[in-house]
């Protein structure tokens, strides 16, 4: 699994789209037709991925939104970002 540094700017992959449904969201990868369901945390994370914000900036926004200590979120969100890169939902920040 790729390591995602806090200063990495994150963006959705070109073929990924997020759709909000009910109390959650789904991600569709057009290339493969794969559909992923998201929990509330992943949905909130993906809502903040805009191709301009770094992982650290996203974590700050989430810590404010959920009133959670930023330090608590740092590792969890880095792991989530790495997983999403691995699944092809987020574009590899190195590219």
Pick one of 3.40.640.10, 2.60.120.10, 1.10.10.1150, 1.10.3720.10 as the CATH number of 16-86.
Answer: 1.10.10.1150
Torsion of CA 54, 11, 17, 78, to 10 degrees: -50
Q: For the segment 58-83, what is each residue's pLDDT rounded down to a tens digit?
A: 999 999 998 888 888 999 999 999 99
Question: How far is residue 73 CA from its own chain's centroid?
Answer: 13
Nearest to 13 by CA among 37, 41, 32, 39: 32
Domain boundaries, the chain: 16-86
Does position 94 have pLDDT exceeding 70, yes or no?
Answer: no
User: What is the value of pTM for the model shown?
Assistant: 0.90
Torsion of CA 55, 40, 80, 47, to 10 degrees: -40
Mean pLDDT of 41-50: 96
């Amino acid at each position: 699994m790729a390591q995602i540094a806090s200063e990495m700017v994150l963006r959705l992959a070109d073929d990924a789209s997020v759709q909000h449904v009910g109390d959650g969201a789904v991600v569709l990868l057009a290339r493969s037709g794969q559909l992923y369901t998201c929990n509330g945390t992943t949905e909130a994370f993906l809502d903040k991925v805009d191709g301009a914000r770094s992982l650290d900036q996203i974590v700050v926004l989430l810590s404010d939104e959920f009133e959670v200590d930023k330090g608590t979120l740092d590792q969890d969100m880095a792991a989530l970002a790495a997983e999403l890169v691995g699944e092809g939902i987020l574009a590899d920040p190195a590219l």
